[in-house]
Structure 1
């Protein structure tokens, strides 16, 4: 698993999109017991905080201690810096394992072996993510597309293709359940959008390669708009939920 997000972890916590009650509801439908959830690749706790009210205890792990340090401090949440394949949990102790916007960085075989080890017989794995941001304004959306596909071409890690393919091409050796089509919708200001683009791994690689920001066209676009402008944007939700074999009986 790569650690690409320890640098400027506070910005990541502030600028990344949140999740939603609809996502949580779709997942919890398949989790009859709620003693322990393991949120793997938890980052700064974006999804952990959604889980916490529904479980007696939540374990949040991430390779980046800097990311975990930005997570909200919740009474029933334990944070631990650990690789995805080393949760430290007892065998068959977890009711739910979640991975939000992180599984494409994992060693699939090693992680899935750990998932099988820690899940209870009626346990559930939920893989959550979001795809490329889409703007309602055509000009803004075109600038985002140019940034992602043209300017940053060659700057994305190879694993990014799993996100582009909406997580449909990741191996998923569990009994998969049908999920609703969901999206995350926001109205963000220009500065919010620029902060979000600053958290992209492709952005970070570009800056290291070229020693300059790739955001000049977007900055010029926002500078030409009224100061208080906000922009309707959405992210397609990537959601795959699978059950252990024993959970199907």
Structure 2
């Protein structure tokens, strides 16, 4: 079991998380399935509302998706090949040598990593893949990106949990005591409107930290500034999050 308590930054925003967090590209799930030793079972740890787990279900006979937050699991959309469970990443409850792929997408920086790695070794079949996946700050063209960057770094920046630094470093600062595999060049890309981007910012843990510390909500001012920079009302912009992966075979 983990030595550290579960740091719950997301249960209170589970509905917004389900509605506004970007989904992963199909190419990510296809690639991970292709390097796995089999396709019988995958485990997605810290699954949130199941964005990656449902994609993995297209390639695996069964996917177990766990999260320590009951609210996140409750917000997950059901899938016939995905079993959602409330469980910490460090204690999956799965049998030994029973999993072909273990993923943690935008979640590993919250884990007790030594305990998680021990659990991964316990449940992994020979040659099973372990994948830590993260995405950082999105990119978009034009003046709207400058507004977004200012809000991210200057307005709510001081209120990001310290673990956020690992995300910004592409997980290169996380301990990863394994022989590492090369990672493909992948990204999340979406065509988003103004409301999509504001809704995404609403899911940030730093926003909730700023609201608590300042006693006011900085999001409406951000939304207004973003609208001024966005251009034609109702228009959509291509947004992009480069993915960072750390991969190994256990």
TM-score by length of 2: 0.93
Partner of 2:130: 125
Q: Is the 8 Å Cα contact of residues 99 and 127 (structure 1) preserved in structure 2? A: yes
Counterpart check, 1:228 vs 2:225: no
Q: Report deviation, 1:104.
A: 0.6
Counterpart check, 1:100 vs 2:105: yes
- Equivalent of residue 247 in structure 2, options 233, 241, 244: 241
Counterpart check, 1:191 vs 2:192: no
Q: Report deviation, 1:222.
A: 4.1
Structure 1: state its 5+ residue gaps: 245-249
Counterpart check, 1:172 vs 2:176: yes
Partner of 2:8: 3
User: Partners of 1:232 and 1:218 in 2: how far apart?
Assistant: 19
Structure 2: state its 5+ residue gaps: 1-5
RMSD (Å), alpha carbons: 1.3
Single out whichever of 194-203 and 124-133 deviates more from structure 2.
124-133
Q: Report deviation, 1:63.
A: 0.6
Task: State the secondary structure of the residue aligned to 2:101.
Answer: strand
C-alpha deviations, 1:116-149, integer Å up to 9, x for none? Answer: 1110112110111211111112x11111111111
TM-score by length of 1: 0.93
Partner of 1:30: 35
Partner of 1:247: none
- Equivalent of residue 164 in structure 2, options 148, 160, 180: 160
User: Partners of 1:154 and 1:44 in 2: how far apart?
Assistant: 27
User: Partners of 1:11 and 1:216 in 2: how far apart?
Assistant: 16
Q: Report deviation, 1:226.
A: 2.8
User: Partners of 1:182 and 1:223 in 2: how far apart?
Assistant: 29
Aligned pairs, number:
243
Task: State the secondary structure of the residue aligned to 1:47.
Answer: helix
